[in-house]
Chains A and B, each alone.
Chain A
Amino acid sequence: MFKDWLKKDDKSKFRDIPDGLWVKCPQCSQIIYSKDWNENFKVCIKCGYHDQLTAYERIDLLVDYGTFKELDKNITPLDILGFVDTKPYLQRLKEAQESTGLKDAIITGEGEINGIPVYIMVMDFRFIGGSMGSVVGEKVVRIIERAISNRKPVVSVIASGGARMQEGLFSLYQMAKTSAAVGRLDKERIPYITILTHPSTAGVLASFGSLGDIIIAEPGALIGFTGPRVIEQTIKQKLPEGFQRSEFLLEHGMVDMVVERKRLKNVTYLILSHLWRKVW
């Protein structure tokens, strides 16, 4: 089932940690040989900790090798409000672009999942905390519009701290814009699957992130509307262990399933094969 993955081993983009080094698991502190770390998709072989993936790593994980075609690369961010905090927004954007090689916090495109053609959008937490401003909103909507015209399912992978403050109310409104687009997709009866990874919070969760026909969560991901620190400050008590983690959300009926990373592609494929069997 992961033959695509294994086949292309030396072309994999899972290379930000070179082979021949050692990685310390952030959760259990186990020292792991970097080759094993990469080959296990950045999941700790001892404790199951799921480390964050970049957008392109995620695409490598989910999309059949050689089928991904990126779209709307030319949509890039603007400093609409002339926002300056400890740094100008423009400088933050430039730094994020240089350190990640991305233009903004989402990569969108088309590809195949075990042969099923899909549109896919993947957020990248490294880019200003995976925050949603005008670019993320627009790219999400364009992908959904294409999915409606070309009748292909949509898969989204969330990794976001919420709306991008530096674009003010424009960012908040992206929640309404993306959700309304999902509403149109919904009416067309085209499958929409969302995969919630660590973290999936605030404005992105409270919009296109939680609107999947099927919602899958990766183990141990923080998923919630308000971050735990703000809740603790508000209610003035410590939160219980595991609060707002994937397993908690499963227990409370908010996600369909918690799926470990190595099964993610196949589970997504199986869901699509059930929901979309007549069409492709």
Chain B
Amino acid sequence: MVERISPWERILLARHPKRPTFSDFLAELFENFIELHGDRLFGDDPAIIAGLGTFENESVVIIGQEKGKLIQEKMKRNFGMPHPEGYRKAFRVMKLAEKFSLPVLCFIDTAGAYPGIGAEERGQAWAIAQNLREISLLKTPIIVIILSEGGSGGALGIGVGDYIMMLENAYYSVISPEGCASILFRDSSKAPEAAEMLKITSEELLKLGLVDEVIPEPNGGAHEDLHGTVENLRKSLRNILKKMKEKEIKKLLEERWMKLRNYGRFNEEEVK
């Protein structure tokens, strides 16, 4: 570890214009990728890419939030901010994984679920809640990788799993630091202070037990060294998938529940 990078600097790295997006990791980590479109209910959400692929000769289901690169693609993908149909597509593809006993890999990179009229009309909250409930019961291993931005409920909507990994320069937060600053500090320019308070960096979240592993980004970060970052991620994925494969589904689900059950810290006063 070199000198400490402040939480705000991490956020700037996570949002760096040259930072690789999900599609870069998709191309580097997987072969034979077949994209699957649509939620079978309303439409296809380009903010979430879902499909089948192979990871080191094993078939897996891959789901990821994609922000896009050039401006036209960014607009098409709504800057990686999903609508309800995105969460519903992700879930229907997860059901496919369950049916055919394939592990699921979810890649997170979103500022948040899209705040818009259509999203509300089609039940953004309902789509996310149903994912949280149903993914917690999905009978196949689920690995979650926070790539860059882990923006609140929009990230968590595909973020329930058995093992949570986070790239070193990613952040994961209950609210954007800007949003927190404008609500709690009553001054959106206080975002760096809010970022400090919210404990959103990979290092801090690992320490708090809210993520399971941090993937180091060598040579200045993923935007400088995509290959090095991918190789670190590949190694970790290989290890965890091997462990997951050996686990009985019943035990996997029990452990997933206990993991979720135990999030939270509070006082429990003795009852007189």
Contact = CB atoms under 8 A, between A and B. Distances in A.
B116 A206 contact: no
Contacts, number: 193
B123 interface: yes
Contacts of A207: 128-129, 132
Contact of B198 (A165, A184, A210): A165
Interface in A81-140: 81, 83-86, 133-135, 137-138
Interface residues of A, number: 63
Interface string A176-196: 110111111011000000000
A239 interface: yes
Nearest to A239: B117
B183 interface: yes
B153 A225 contact: yes
B116 A231 contact: yes
Nearest to B113: A225
A213 to B, nearest CB: 12
Given A75-B267, A168-B198, A184-B257, A175 B210 contact: no
Contacts of A243: 117, 120
A231 B124 CA distance: 13
Nearest to B112: A226
B91 interface: no
Interface residues of B, number: 57
Contacts of B174: 163-165, 167-169, 171-172, 203
A44 B90 CA distance: 44
Contacts of B70: none
Contacts of A206: 124-126, 128-129, 132, 153, 157
B123 A252 contact: yes
B268 A179 contact: no
B124 A225 contact: yes
Contacts of A183: 133-134, 136-137
Contacts of B113: 225-226
Interface of A: 74-78, 80-81, 83-86, 133-135, 137-138, 141, 163-177, 179-184, 186-187, 201-203, 205-211, 224-226, 230-231, 234-235, 239, 243-244, 252-254
